[in-house]
Chains A and B, each alone.
Chain A
Amino acid sequence: MLDAALCVVRRDLLLAWRRKSDVATALLFFVIVASLFPLGIGAEPNLLRGIAPGVIWVAALLSSMLSLARLFAADHADGTLEQMLLGASPLGVIAAAKTIAHWIISGLPLVLIAPLIAVQYDLPAALYPVLALSLVLGTPVLSLIGAIGAALTLGLRGGGILLSLLVLPLYVPVLILGAGSVEMASAGMGGEGQLLLLAALLVAACAFAPWAIAAALRISME
């Protein structure tokens, strides 16, 4: 079972490596979106410092959502997904493995690039660890919940936008907790409460999402 999971993760990472531009575009989107807000709101430093956690988190949300469409689409198109459904390995394991690979490709880079955006918004350096930790805990949850949506909307017309409509309401708690942890830390009260709740969400998502993703894949592939 673990072999199958590792195999799928390696395969997805290899495929992503061969198409680095896909990954890079999602990252670029993250940076561009975050750069749009000051252009729209005005560059007053206090204002930007105040909205920085929220903006970074919203940009991470949107960027993560954009890359979800790619999660199952390629495998669905060439028939690999069908083989995975028919194969011996539990579909939940495969789904979890694909989601892990998706996070490594789309979520982890966000964590690494976020300090760059934080610099743009003049977020105090002391907050970087909380920001990074909140993203590390939160982006896998986004990948897991988003994968359910991606599996449900497999092959549908209007896929990307429909996926967003389905998945964004479910993202709300992650957004509130993630941005909230940084805001609490900046107010001097420590973001541990939110981070712990985020960790709880992560554990719950890891436990239940693969099952839901597998069920959704079966529904979509009949």
Chain B
Amino acid sequence: MNWFWYASPQTFYPLAGRVAPWFGFAAALLAAAGLYVGFFVAPTDAQQGEVYRVIFIHVPAAWLSMFIYLVMAGWAALGLAFNTRLSGMMASALAPTGALFTFIALWTGSLWGRPTWGTYWVWDARLTSELVLLFLYLGFIALQAAIDDPRRADRAGALLAIVGVVNIPIIHYSVVWWNTLHQGASVSVTKGASMQSQMLTAMLLMALAFWMYSIAVSLVRVRCIIRERGEA
């Protein structure tokens, strides 16, 4: 099958419209399954009681926030390399969802921290890296919003996304180093009791659910972008 036929906005538009609802249904099903396993099958944690169940949203959201940035940067690189319009549009479509998941990861992490660590915000390496990731997302969105010409906005955002993605490991490791120096022994969120298999299952199901959700939302959003730019 000639996949490249779908590389133009006009041909991708109807495909996205047909396919997006299926991803939405998949997301709803997986979320239902994940939440069921998470709340009715997974046992109470020995140390944290019931509050640990935040993990079924916190960790999948964090995973998605990083994954979406990678995908966004991937589309950005494709757009810069092959000068394809649709790639830039996909990157722009992914950014708000990625930023949202980053916020959700931070919010749920904060509410998890309060009963377990005693404060709403801890300069834990992961939370701090997530915060910087949120700033990277917001910078991307702000840059694209500040540029009127869509093609320049796509290309400028793409370069920023690529510079960001190269920096993410550097930022992460510097923050981890900084955190171990300053915090000493801080609680690790997945260590302690080894993860029970049901907890892991619920987490994976929720991660898949979030993934399907982001695909669905991004496809609808890219359709909006295509329409707004008058390409379909």
Contact = CB atoms under 8 A, between A and B. Distances in A.
Contacts of B15: none
Interface stretch (B32-40, B132-140, B187-195, B206-214): B132-140
A152 interface: yes
Nearest to A156: B146
B109 interface: no
Contact of B143 (A162, A169, A170, A208): A162
B175 A172 contact: yes
A196 interface: no
A173 interface: yes
Given A152-B143, A157-B146, A216 B136 contact: no
Nearest to B146: A156
Q: Is the interface of B mostly helix, strand, loop or mixed?
A: helix
A212 B159 CA distance: 8
A172 B174 contact: yes
Interface string A139-171: 000000100100011001110001001101110
Contacts of A222: 151-152
Interface string B147-183: 1000110011001100110110011001101100100
Interface residues of B, number: 27
A169 B160 CA distance: 12
Contact of A216 (B138, B147, B159, B167): B159
Interface string A206-222: 00100010011001101
Given A153-B146, A180-B181, A216 B156 contact: yes
Contacts of B167: 169-170, 173
Contacts of A152: 143, 156, 159-160
Contacts of A201: 170
Contact of A180 (B132, B142, B156, B178): B178
Contact of B135 (A169, A173, A219): A169
Q: Is the interface of A mostly helix, strand, loop or mixed?
A: helix
Interface in A164-216: 165-166, 168-170, 172-173, 176-177, 180, 183-184, 201, 208, 212, 215-216
B159 A176 contact: no
A40 to B, nearest CB: 20
Interface in B26-68: none
Interface of B: 80, 132, 135-136, 138-139, 142-143, 146-147, 151-152, 155-156, 159-160, 163-164, 166-167, 170-171, 174-175, 177-178, 181
Nearest to B140: A166
Given A153-B146, A162-B143, A170-B167, A220 B152 contact: yes
Contacts of B155: 219
Given A165-B138, A173-B167, A219-B159, 17 more contacts: A148-B163, A165-B139, A166-B142, A168-B135, A169-B132, A169-B136, A169-B167, A170-B164, A170-B167, A176-B175, A176-B178, A177-B174, A184-B181, A208-B166, A219-B156, A220-B152, A220-B156
Nearest to A175: B174
6 contacts: A152-B156, A156-B146, A158-B146, A176-B177, A215-B159, A216-B159
Nearest to A201: B170
Contacts of A166: 139, 142-143, 160
Contact of A173 (B146, B147, B151, B170): B170
A176 B159 CA distance: 24
Contacts of B181: 180, 183-184
Contacts of B138: 165
Contacts of B163: 145, 148, 170, 212
Contacts of A177: 174
Nearest to A173: B174
A106 to B, nearest CB: 21
Contacts of A172: 132, 171, 174-175
